Structure 1
Amino acid sequence: MVRPFKISIPQQEVDDLFSRLKQARWPSIFHEKPWALGTDHSFMKRLIDYWGSEYNWREQENWLNSFPQFIETVDGMNIHFIHVRGEGASSKPLLITHGWPGSFMEMLKAVPYLTTPSLFGGKSEDSFDVIIPSIPGFAFSDKPTRPGVGSRYVAELWAKLMDSLGYESYFVQGGDIGAGVSTWLSLMYPDRVKGLHLNFIPGSYKPLLSEETPPLSDEEQKYLDKVAGWTEREGAYGALHKTKPETIAFALSDSPIGLASWIVEKFQAWSDCNGDIEASFSLDDLLTNISIYWFTNSIASSIRIYAEGPKMPLPFSEGQKVTVKTGVSVFPKELPMPPRSWVERGYNVTYWEHMNKGGHFAAMENPELFAGQLHHFFHSL
């Protein structure tokens, strides 16, 4: 049964956070180019000072609560989700899945462009009903207590959630972990999924390569080489999440400064900010996302999905293909993105667009541009 939900963090937990921030013990300074070795020391000092003095959680909590939120129990697991109905009489349902280290919050600024297009020069009949669930282990959804909660299982939960909401068919969108969830939905429920949009290609996607398939092109080989180089330079966090997530979980669950450092470095590295993170995100936006992780104590449960997902990889090695019409928007500062030919080996790609700005957190960094891509693709179907 669907129940309304409001975020209401007890004041004692807010006070505890501020107390911890005041007791920070800082690492020694090493003089190197900012962000070259990870999170920048001077930026972190300013971020934490702002968090403990000027940042207003209650104000942000009210903003989050301005979006209709609900809890639904699916397979015995309480799932938190945003559900905003579109202004049109025949709004199309659109299921959006977030990733890590984001949350449902990273999608919210794009919601008005999708649900009320008439306010932005569009037509009311082009509106969507937007559903944004929190992946199990993230934010206000239940934390898994057993193995097996990877992208495939989440896709099964989402299908049941959409059934409970009365949607027999729908569009799906995803980036990061959400790209894997949305791909699984399209593979398992092609009769329900009417269109798939991705702004990232799942890391576990490996199309079938055999004597019967075309040989790798130079462009495809360059992409694979780029992935290998990126993994060597930037992939340490992912290797740790996949192999020993519990080790880092203790530190990140106990220290808000450690948590902020672990998350904010990815927002700086994966955005189109030219080195200046505040060119892409406000301090309030960064801290609201981080605060959600802190107040729900969900960093440990969120990174475990890196260990669970590979246990059930996408089955493209068996020659399976996504038959659902697929649109891909390529943002310039995204993690390594494959060429279209590589994606077409496993997806029915009918739309491919290169953006002139943006990065991994497209909906948060450029909400109007992100929403415009969804309008363009889904309304072309």
Structure 2
Amino acid sequence: WADDFGNERWAYGVERGWLEETARYWADEYDWRAEEAAINRLPQYRLEIDGVPVHFVHVKGKGPAPMPLVLTHGWPWTFWDWKDVIGPLADPAAHGGDPADAFDVIVPSLPGFGFSTPLRTTGIGARRVAELWVTLMGALGYDRFAAAGGDWGAIVTAELGHAHADHLTGVYLTLPQIPGINLRDVKEEDFAPDEAWMWQRSVEARPTIMSHSSVHIHDPQTLAYALCDSPVGTAAWLWERRRNWSDCDGDVAGLFGRDFLCTTASIYWLTKTIGTSLRLYNEHFSRGWPVAHDRKPEIPVPTGFGISPKELLMLPRAWAEERTDLRRWTIFPRGGHFAPSEQPQQVIDEFRAFFRELR
């Protein structure tokens, strides 16, 4: 264990005492087989698309006309971050909802993440992932579908709405992302007076975004050697982000549960994908995110945004109105960077309300 002192508030990164105890729980008490059984209760498949392995969950909806909906996760997420919303979205009646709101729910694992492995192909950025998702949905019989996502999932979803609008019913983003826009260019004066808190949050979150993104973009393979050599190192890298980026008031295990944290680390560790997951940053950002066309707005399909108060990146509503076919703009009362696993009911209600108008 690395020496650690004066770090009770995690000022230098993960506090050693907490990490030792959580790692001990992972090694001695956590029941992977029980979690594995829960995962396996979902219908899952693997498909190779142009040499890229894609793992996905596919739950058919129970209702008069289920809408196909692809949900895309981010980093350090896995597909399992969507676990609490899949059932209610696919079978609303079984969870106190209206069967008319049913979805066919498709949850892929990003290439090089978890069970979408082994990744042997370079050039897999968000634009390529969006192309893969269109092919995947077509293979499942869906020419038109809805899409939603957070973190990388929001970038992929925005790309779907931008470059593949003819296939999209609508898109919903829990992280504001629009092709061709660098949110680091947003200035304080771009926000309306009632959005001042968004600017303050952006400034507050900027150091963690810069430190995190820089190494992932520029040195993913070098970092991969260290993380792939140590399960505790992998877990620390994942769990620190969970704590700092969520609305957990410093109690990350209290918000997500220790088993969930351990399952996330287990999926990355057991599949040996922490290294390939990092490459997405380099593949996407080293090439920039140029627009695929010059039509306006950039995202011409119906678009919804759900803004959590502890999210890392913020977008002025005026920018969303100018650059998307904005249909819904919701400020959530709680939540951070991991919307579906932090506040699943909030996300369920929001998706139902937004996509109901597009059926």
TM-score normalised by L of structure 2: 0.92
Look up the match of 2:341.
364
1:343 is displaced (CA, Å) by: 2.2
Residue of structure 1 equivalent to 2:165: 190
**Root mean square deviation of aligned Cα:** 2.3
Question: What letter corresponds to residue 190 of structure 2 in structure 1?
Answer: S
Pairing partner for 1:333 from 310, 315, 334: 310
Aligned-partner Cα distance in 1 for 2:21–2:330: 37
Q: Structure 1: which 5+ residue stretches go unaligned?
A: 1-25, 209-214
Q: Distance in 2 between matches of 1:43 and 1:166?
A: 47
Structure 2 residue 315 is matched with structure 1 residue 315: no
**Matching of residue 263 in structure 1 with residue 238 in structure 2:** yes
Equivalent of residue 159 in structure 1, options 134, 138, 149: 134
174-183 or 312-321: bigger deviation: 312-321
TM-superposition CA deviations, 1:2-56 (whole Å, max 9, x none): xxxxxxxxxxxxxxxxxxxxxxxx1112123422221122211111110111101
How far apart are 1:88 and its partner, in Å?
Answer: 1.1
Tell me how far 1:99 sits from its aligned partner.
0.4
- Cα gap change, 1:289/1:303 in structure 2, threshold over 3 Å: closer, same or farther? same
The aligned counterpart of 1:206 is 181
Matched, 1:374 2:351: yes
* More divergent stretch after superposition (156-165 vs 275-284): 275-284
SS in 2 for 1:304: helix
Radius of gyration: which is bigger? Answer: 1
CA distance in 1, matches of 2:7, 2:131: 47
1:84-103 correspondence runs (5 A): 84-103=59-78
Return the alpha-carbon distance in structure 1 between the equivalents of residues 66 and 316 of structure 2: 33
Q: What is the deviation of 1:228?
A: 5.8
Is 1:66 aligned to 2:33, yes or no? no
Contact 1:206–1:317 (CA under 8 A) maintained in structure 2: no
Instruction: Tell which deviates more after alignment, 259-268 or 140-149.
Output: 140-149
What amino acid maps onto 1:73 in structure 2?
E
CA distance in 2, matches of 1:136, 1:288: 19
SS in structure 2 opposite 1:168? coil
Question: For the structure 1 residues 111 and 46, does the alpha-carbon distance in structure 2 shift closer, same or farther, using more than 3 Å as the test?
Answer: same
Matched, 1:217 2:193: no
Tell me by how many angstroms 1:379 deviates: 0.4
Equivalences for 1:1-381 in 2 at 5 Å? 26-202=1-177, 205-206=180-181, 217=190, 219=192, 227=202, 230-310=205-285, 311-315=287-291, 320=296, 321-381=298-358
Task: Give the count of matched residue pairs.
Answer: 350
Conservation of the 8 A alpha-carbon contact between 1:327 and 1:349: yes
How far is 1:336 from its partner?
Answer: 2.5
In structure 2, the residue matched to 1:211 is: none
Structure 1 pair 349–162 and aligned structure 2 pair: CA distance change class (3 A): same
Q: Which amino acid aligns with 2:319?
A: W
In the superposition, relative to structure 1, how do residues 177 and 190 fare at CA in structure 2: closer, same or farther (>3 Å)? same
